[in-house]
A = this chain, B = another copy of it.
Amino acid sequence: MARRTGRRPGNPATREAILDAARATFGQRGYDGSTIRAIAAAAGVDPALVHHYFGSKDQLFLAAMQAPFDPREVLPAVLAGDRAGLGERIVRTFLSVWDSPAGTAGIAMLRSAVSNEWTARLLREFVTIHVLRPILDHVDVDPAEVPLRGSLLASQLVGLAVMRHVIRLEPIATADPEVLVAAIAPTIGRYLTAPL
C-alpha cells in the first residue's frame, strides 16, 4: 500500500463540492471577503472539514484556482537581496516559472481568464494578493501609489507572458531569458519605485 504523506485527500465528491463552493464564493465576494466558514456553509460541510482537506484559506484559494505554482515558494528568493536588483530578480523568476511546465498551466489559466469573467476575477485576486502585495510590501513607496504601481508591473509581466507564450511574437518568443531580463528589469524597477 502506498504510504500517504501530507493532507488526506478525503472523499473526492466532498473535495469537489468544497472546491466548487470555494470558486463560487471567491468569485462573488473576492478573496478578502470570503471565509472558510462561508465556503463550508455553501458546500454544506463543517468548516473543520475544509481545514482538514485544504489547510488555510490561502491554500484553498490556490487549489480552487488550480494555480500552476505557489508564489510563496518563489517569492522569498526574489525579495531577498538588494533593492537595486529587485527588478531583475522579478523578471528572471517570472520567466523561469513561465518557461517551466507550470507555464503551460499558466497559459491555460490566461486563456480561461480572457473568455470568462469569473476566472478573470480569480486571476486578479491571485495576482494582487499572492504576487503584487508581497512585492510592494517590500518597497518603500507612498501607500497611495501601491495599487497603480502593482497594476503597471502586472501589465508588463502579463504582456511579456502573452507575447512570449501565447501570441509568440519573435524574437521575444524564443529570446534568451537574460536578454529579456536586461531589457525589461529597468521597466519593473521604474514601476516599483521611480516617480510616476
Contacts and interface: CB of A to CB of B under 8 A. Distances in A.
Given A155-B156, A155-B159, A111 B115 contact: yes
A152 B184 CA distance: 8
A107 to B, nearest CB: 8
Given A111-B114, A114-B111, A114-B114, A154 B147 contact: no
Interface string A123-155: 110011000000000000000000110011011
B155 A160 contact: yes
Interface class of chain A by DSSP: helix
B167 A163 contact: no
A170 B147 contact: yes
A95 to B, nearest CB: 12
Interface stretch (A4-12, A68-76, A185-193): A185-193
A183 interface: yes
Nearest to A128: B169
Interface of A: 110-111, 113-115, 120, 123-124, 127-128, 147-148, 151-152, 154-160, 162-164, 166-173, 175, 179, 182-184, 186-187, 190-191, 196
Closest 9 CB pairs of A and B: A159-B159, A151-B172, A155-B159, A155-B163, A151-B169, A158-B159, A187-B187, A155-B160, A183-B196
10 contacts: A113-B167, A114-B167, A147-B170, A148-B172, A155-B164, A158-B162, A158-B163, A179-B196, A183-B196, A186-B190
